[in-house]
C-alpha cells in the first residue's frame, strides 16, 4: 500500500493494520533480544535499524486520517507489563552512550536541551506499543490502531525520534572516527551552576569510545 494513498477511504483497513502490527511486534521482539546482552557490540546499529523502521510505521500512522475507536471507553487491559528489568539491562549495555542531550520541542523558542537516556526512551516506547498490541491480540484492531496513532502523536513518536537521533550520532562518531572525548563535552546551554546536569549529560562525551561500536569504556 502506497503511503501516498493512506487517506483514501477505499483501502482495506486489515492490510494496514497487519502491516503496522507486524512492525510493532518486530520492534518489541528486537529490543527485548538486545536487552538480553548476548551481542552488546552490535546493540547500537541494531537498535538504530529497529527504531528507524518503527518510525516508518509511525509516519504512516501520522499520515493516516484520524482513526476513531469503535467503543466510547477503552476496555480495561489490566496492569501494564513491568519494564524495569529490561530498562536496567539496556542501560548497562549502553552505559557509555546511554545519556544524551535532547531538545524536547524544536518549535518552542529558547528551550534548553535536557539530558535523556536511550534506555528509558526505548522502554517507554515499548510500554505504549504493548498497550496497543494487547488490543490487537484481543481482536480490537481499530482500538489498537487508534491507540498507536494517538500515542504516536502524544508520546512515543517524539521519544523514538530523539532516541534515533542519539543512536545515529553514536554510529556516525564511530564510522567517521570521531571519538567522543574529542568533542569536549555536550553543550547543554544550561546554567553553569547546574553541576548535576552538566556532569550527567557531559559524561557521555568525556568517555572514549571503545570496541567496534563504542559500547564499553576502555579498561
Rounded to an integer, what distance in angstroms lies between the CA atom of residue 92 and that of residue 40? 10
Q: Whole-number mean pLDDT of the chain? A: 78
- The runs of H, that is alpha helices, within 64-117 are 84-93
Query: What pTM did the predictor assign?
Result: 0.74
Output the CA–CA distances (angstroms, integers) from residue 194 to 122, 189, 198, 202, in the order listed. 27, 10, 6, 12
Give the residue carrying C-alpha cell 557490540: 41
Length of the chain: 219
Burial 52-85 (b: 16+ CB within 10 A, else e): eebbebbebbeebeebebeeeeeeeeeeeeebee
- Digit-by-digit pLDDT tens for the chain (219 residues) are 333 333 344 445 468 999 999 999 999 999 999 999 998 888 999 999 999 999 999 999 999 999 988 776 676 666 667 789 999 999 999 988 999 988 777 777 777 778 899 999 999 999 999 999 999 999 899 999 999 999 999 999 999 999 999 999 999 888 887 776 644 444 333 443 344 433 443 344 334 333 434 444 333
Q: In the beta sheet, which residues pair with residue 119?
A: none
Output the CA–CA distances (angstroms, integers) from residue 195 to 23, 173, 201, in the order listed. 41, 26, 10
Nearest CA-CA partner of 149 in 214, 44, 69, 29: 69
Q: Dig out the grid coordinates for 41 from the structure.
A: 557490540
Rounded to an integer, what distance in angstroms lies between the CA atom of residue 107 and that of residue 103? 10
Tell me how far the alpha carbon of residue 138 is from its chain's centroid.
25
Q: Dig out the grid coordinates for 72 from the structure.
A: 466510547
Output the CA–CA distances (angstroms, integers) from residue 188 to 161, 168, 181, 182, 192, in the order listed. 19, 19, 16, 17, 10
pLDDT in tens, 146-176: 999 999 999 999 999 999 999 999 998 888 8
Q: Taking a C-beta distance cutoff of 8 angstroms, is the pair 60, 3 a contact? A: yes
Burial 108-130 (b: 16+ CB within 10 A, else e): eeeeebebbbbbbbbbbbbbbbe
Amino acid at each position: 500500500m502506497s503511503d501516498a494513498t493512506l487517506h483514501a477511504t477505499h483501502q482495506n483497513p486489515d492490510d494496514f493494520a497487519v502491516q503496522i502490527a507486524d512492525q510493532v511486534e518486530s520492534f518489541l521482539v528486537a529490543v527485548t533480544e538486545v536487552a538480553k546482552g548476548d551481542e552488546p557490540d552490535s546493540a547500537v546499529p541494531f537498535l538504530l535499524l529497529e527504531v528507524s523502521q518503527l518510525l516508518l510505521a509511525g509516519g504512516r500512522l501520522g499520515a493516516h486520517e484520524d482513526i476513531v475507536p469503535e467503543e466510547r471507553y477503552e476496555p480495561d487491559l489490566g496492569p501494564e507489563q513491568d519494564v524495569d528489568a529490561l530498562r536496567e539491562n539496556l542501560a548497562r549495555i549502553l552505559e557509555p552512550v546511554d545519556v544524551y542531550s535532547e531538545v524536547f520541542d524544536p518549535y518552542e523558542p529558547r528551550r534548553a536541551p535536557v539530558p535523556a537516556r536511550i534506555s528509558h526512551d526505548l522502554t517507554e516506547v515499548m510500554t505504549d506499543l504493548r498497550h496497543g498490541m494487547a488490543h490487537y491480540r484481543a481482536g480490537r484492531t481499530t482500538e489498537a490502531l487508534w491507540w498507536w496513532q494517538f500515542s504516536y502523536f502524544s508520546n512515543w513518536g517524539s521519544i523514538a525520534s530523539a532516541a534515533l537521533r542519539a543512536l545515529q550520532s553514536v554510529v556516525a562518531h564511530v564510522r567517521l572516527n570521531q571519538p567522543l572525548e574529542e568533542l569536549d563535552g555536550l553543550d547543554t546551554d544550561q546554567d553553569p551552576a547546574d553541576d548535576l546536569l552538566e556532569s550527567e549529560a557531559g559524561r557521555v562525551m568525556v568517555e572514549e569510545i571503545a570496541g567496534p561500536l563504542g559500547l564499553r569504556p576502555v579498561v
